Amino acid sequence: MSPARLDVDRARCIGAGMCAMTAPDVFDQDDADGLVVLLEAEPAGTRLTAARMAAGLCPSGAITLGEPASGPS
C-alpha cells in the first residue's frame, strides 16, 4: 500500500465520530466541539488501512488523502 498524507477540514467536519471509531490511533474528536483532530498525518501499515476506511466513511468528506510530504532534496 502506497504512503499517503492525511488532511482534515475541521470547518467541513460535522462531528459524526466515524473517523475516531474506525481509526482511533489516527483520529480523535476535540472535547470542546466534537470535531476531528488529526493525530498522525502520515500513518503506515494497518493505521493507513484504517485511515483510508475512515476517510471513506466520513459523512461530510472532511478527510482527504494525498501524497506524503517530501523530505529535503
Mean pLDDT of the 40-50 span: 96
What does pLDDT average to over the chain? 92
> Given this model, what pLDDT does residue 2 score?
64
| CA distances from residue 43 to 6, 16, 32 in whole angstroms, order as listed | 8, 22, 25
* The pLDDT of residue 70 is above 70: no
Domains recognised in the chain with CATH numbers = 5-66 (3.30.70.20)
The reply to whether the predicted model has a pTM over 0.85 is yes
CA proximity to 58, closest of 27, 16, 28 = 16
Cα dihedral sign, 29-53-70-12: negative
Give residue 4's pLDDT: 87
Q: Quote the pLDDT of residue 1.
A: 57
Q: Compute the average pLDDT of residues 12-25.
A: 98
* Backbone region of residue 7 per phi and psi (left: phi > 0; alpha: psi in -120 to 50; beta: other values): beta
